[in-house]
Amino acid sequence: MSNTIFSLSGFDSFGDVAAEDDAVLNYFLATKAVENIEKNSVFMALGRKGTGKTALVRYFTEGAGVGQASKSLNLRGYPWNVHAARMDHGASPIEAYVSSWKYLIAVELASLVLSHRDSWKSLSSKTLTKFLNDNYGGTNPDLSEILRPQRLALSKLSFNPSVMGNALGGIDLERSGKDHRFGLELNALSGSIMSAVVEVAKDTGQNHIKLHFDELDQGMSTLEDDRAHMLIGLVLAAREVRRGSGSGGVEVTPVVYLRTDLWDELQFSDKNKISQTLALNIVWNGDNLLELVEARLQSKLGAGVSWSDVAESDLMRGSQRKWDHILARTFLRPRDVIHFLNIILAEAKKRAVEPTHFTNQDIINSRDEYSQYLKRELDDEIGSHWPQWEEAVQALSTISTITFGRGEFEQEYSRRKSRLNKISDDDALALLYRFSVIGYQRRSGYGGSSWAFQYTDPEAGWDNGASRFKVHPGLKEYAKLREKRGND
């Protein structure tokens, strides 16, 4: 510890678990994710729930610099049923919603550039303003209303695009399945709007414009085909808009933030190419999570304070450092670390001893409550993919040890498997691994072994032939598991 004595008695919390409720900009770390999005090298940010996607959105929309314009589009409560009716029947199912998303993006960009205080100086602003006023009654339409009109009004004073030499006097958004002109007409209008957007942006010095699509998973219980096709349509539309930007020195990038498990379920031809070159996987490790925690400590206790100033130095059982013990029970997500630390903080304050520091016993006393939290988090993530996953947890609890064999699981799972549960033994283990509920034992070439978990070693992949498994330590208390002596 340093010579200065710090106490946590007046420290209220390490922050809110949900980034939308947290004063995140007070201690946001400029991670590699920020750099990649700023440089326009990616247009997708993928991460598990709690990895900081919404924190990134807030960073860009609340801290935009000179020459930058960013807007967050929160799709919580979005009228997906209305969007489903704006289908392009002339396109393949995978591309059926690309044109509607491109139009929505164009309208949001128009609203964004018109919000600049000097937008009135641009001639193109009059055209955009006329179009938005005619169709939405103002220049800042609600996201949920953009695709709701039955017909879009066009005029020579707003936009007058043409398709195959024929000028469009208006565009009907409600079409029968036999009318295949929808995509052509909507794309022509979107192109006209985008051209005007670029002109206004140039005239007002907005050189970097970003739209951030967040909360795409809200209200989603299952990923049905129409929703999957709409999500794919958004990804493809965002890529097309990004490709077409850069004219006149104006970069336009819609950024799509999506949960990794949803991305894994989407199937389309360019997915792998996007994953490899245009998508960012938000990952954390012990070092940058510690930086995050220390940044929060310093924002409230003063510059220079570190973890060692607030945690006693004695080791946990098994010669494990306190920080490592905490990390081992998380999925290496800010959400988990913050929640665990807030529980430990409450335990430390109960002792009413000054200076208030974290002790081994504070951490031990916090594990039950934290384990309950982690199980609830997994319910939210796994439930939509496997509603009966609790039956697998019950099987693990009955086995009662943190490590187990394939045969033990198959026996206990089959006893608890209900009629509605269609997940086989093998698929159950694969799903538990996919969400890092379990890891499998991996042998090395030197006679040793290690545990492979999806969240720490995603490149390892699932091993169908694995025979030994380990439950994530964070679930040990919830499932009432014990270590297996003399083994593993």
Q: What is the mean pLDDT of residues 393-397?
A: 97
Please count the other Cβ atoms lying within 10 Å of the Cβ belonging to residue 362: 22
Q: What angle do CA 201, 66, 27 make, to 5 degrees?
A: 130
Output 89 or 217, whichever has higher pLDDT: 89
Q: What percent of the chain clears pLDDT 70, i.e. is strictly above it?
A: 92
SS3 285: coil
Residue 193 contacts residue 42 (beta carbons within 8 Å): no
Arch. (CATH architecture) of 386-475: Orthogonal Bundle (1.10)
Q: If you average pLDDT over each of 172-181, 198-207, 341-350, 458-467, which comes out highest? A: 341-350
- Per-residue pLDDT tens over the stretch 472-484: 999 999 999 998 7
The secondary structure of 305-369, three-state, reads: CCHHHCECCCCECCCECHHHHHHHCCCCCHHHHHHHHHHHHHHHHHCCCCCCCECHHHHHHHHHH
Give Cα 207 distance to the centre of its chain: 26
Q: What is the mean pLDDT of residues 25-35?
A: 63
Q: What is the mean pLDDT of residues 323-327?
A: 97
Output 384 or 221, whichever has higher pLDDT: 384
Q: What local confidence, expressed as pLDDT, does residue 67 receive?
A: 60
Instruction: Locate the domains of the chain by residue range.
Output: 43-277, 386-475
Q: What local confidence, expressed as pLDDT, does residue 17 receive?
A: 60
Q: What local confidence, expressed as pLDDT, does residue 444 receive?
A: 76
Output 49 or 114, whichever has higher pLDDT: 114
Q: What local confidence, expressed as pLDDT, does residue 22 receive?
A: 55
Distance CA 175, CA 88 (A): 9
Q: Quick check: 217 pLDDT over 80?
A: no
Residue 404 contacts residue 475 (beta carbons within 8 Å): no
Q: In the beta sheet, which residues pair with residue 401?
A: 482
Q: Quick check: 487 pLDDT over 50?
A: no
Q: Look up the pTM and report it.
A: 0.85
- Per-residue pLDDT tens over the stretch 437-474: 999 999 876 768 899 999 998 888 899 999 999 999 99
Chain mean pLDDT for the chain = 89
Q: What local confidence, expressed as pLDDT, does residue 18 receive?
A: 59
